């Protein structure tokens, strides 16, 4: 089944060229089913790039997924045009009286700042509070995962000696939970961050379960026992060349950056990077939509009792 987006969203043509089934509002209105309603709070600076990555990730499911893009009002985007935001995004005030099946909160390049100094922190906490009663399951990505663990469970992030950057091997730790159903024992996933949420504090929290982690990169996947909150410490949605773009951007700025690990063939940054994490990334999003959204959410969203 397709993902439903606005007919003129720029990502649509790219998705259709990749044979991903995309449906616009007109066709969706004739479908006699109740689609899954997903809202994406996009905090990344390159919003159109992140839109495309997440829409790809959500497309591998038999469910019809209606996507709403959300942006914060308390921060002025410098990399996405106002016209794009006005046309394709809503604000929290627009949806705060609505209910959704799922929410995705993306990462953001603010990890080296204290949480409370981020200009949209107060607005983000309002959205996180709202999600506890108005969303069936929320997925937090990278910095948002650290922010969610801090806000909900008091787990403070800590700085790393150097940036965790590249592809890292992870081990599935708890197979009884369907979020990791179909995962191999070991799998690769991208990371790009300067901070981490301490493994020992996550493990000590009685409300949380660690599902996958890395000896080198730490916890990758954790969740609350009821599945209402999913914390993903990396960027499984990244495209083949996302890490390449970040590396060459930082090199061009003269920033201290090492090559992304396990990424370039023979560590040659001029070579085409190998795409070695997409299958598990797709599996993660499909499992989330199926087991923690679709099979939990009520048929009528306005009759939810969470």
Tell me which DSSP letter residue 280 carries.
Answer: H
Q: Which entry of 142, 152, 170, 191 is annotated as an active-site residue?
A: 142
Query: Distance between CA atoms of 232 and 116, rounded to whole angstroms?
Result: 21
* Dihedral (CA of 151, 153, 156, 157) sign: negative
Q: Are 289 and 62 in contact (CB under 8 A)?
A: no
Distance CA 170, CA 37 (A): 31
CB-count burial class (<10 Å; 0-12, 13-18, 19+) for 117 = exposed
The answer to whether residue 237 is catalytic is yes
Kindly give the pairing relationship between strand 36-41 and strand 89-90. unpaired
- Quickly count: other Cβ atoms within 10 Å of residue 301's Cβ: 16
Residue 142 DSSP one-character state: T
Give yes or no for a contact between 250 and 166, defined as CB atoms under 8 angstroms apart. Answer: no
Active-site residue 49, yes or no? no
Query: 71 an active-site residue?
Result: no
Which is the catalytic residue, given 51, 237, 246, 280? 237
Give SS3 for 11: helix
**Antiparallel, parallel or unpaired: β 36-41 and 65-70:** parallel
Distance from C-alpha of 232 to C-alpha of 301, rounded to nearest angstrom: 26
Compute the distance between CA of residue 41 and CA of residue 38 in angstroms, rounded to an integer.
10
Cβ atoms < 10 Å from Cβ of 199: 14
Under DSSP, is residue 255 helix (H, G, I), strand (E, B) or coil? coil
Which residues have a catalytic role annotated? 142, 235, 237
């Amino acid at each position: 089944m397709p993902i439903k987006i606005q007919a003129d969203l720029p990502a649509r043509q790219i998705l259709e060229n990749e044979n991903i089934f995309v449906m616009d509002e007109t066709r969706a209105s004739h479908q006699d089913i109740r689609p899954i309603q997903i809202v994406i709070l996009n905090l990344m600076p390159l919003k159109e790039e992140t839109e495309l990555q997440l829409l790809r990730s959500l497309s591998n499911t038999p469910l019809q997924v209606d996507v709403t893009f959300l942006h914060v009002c308390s921060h002025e985007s410098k990399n996405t045009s106002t016209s794009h935001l006005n046309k394709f995004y809503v604000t929290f005030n627009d949806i705060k009286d609505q209910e959704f099946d799922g929410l995705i909160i993306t990462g953001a390049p603010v990890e080296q700042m204290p949480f409370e100094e981020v200009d949209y922190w107060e607005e983000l906490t309002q959205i996180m509070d709202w999600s506890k009663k108005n969303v069936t399951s929320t997925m937090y990505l990278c910095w948002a995962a650290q922010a969610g663990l801090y806000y909900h469970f008091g787990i403070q992030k800590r700085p790393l000696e150097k940036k965790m950057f590249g592809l890292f091997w992870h081990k599935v730790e708890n197979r009884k939970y369907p979020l990791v159903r179909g995962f191999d024992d070991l799998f690769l996933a991208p990371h790009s961050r300067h901070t981490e949420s301490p493994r020992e504090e996550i493990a000590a929290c009685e409300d949380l379960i660690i599902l996958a982690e890395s000896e080198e990169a730490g916890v990758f996947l954790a969740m609350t026992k009821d599945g209402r909150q999913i914390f993903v410490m990396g960027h499984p949605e990244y495209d083949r060349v996302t890490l390449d773009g970040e590396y060459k951007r930082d090199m061009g700025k003269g920033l201290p950056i090492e090559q992304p690990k396990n990424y370039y063939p023979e560590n040659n940054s001029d070579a085409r990077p190998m795409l070695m994490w997409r299958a598990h990334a797709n599996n993660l999003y499909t499992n989330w939509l199926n087991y923690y959204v679709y099979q939990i959410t009520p048929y009528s969203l306005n009759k939810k009792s969470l």
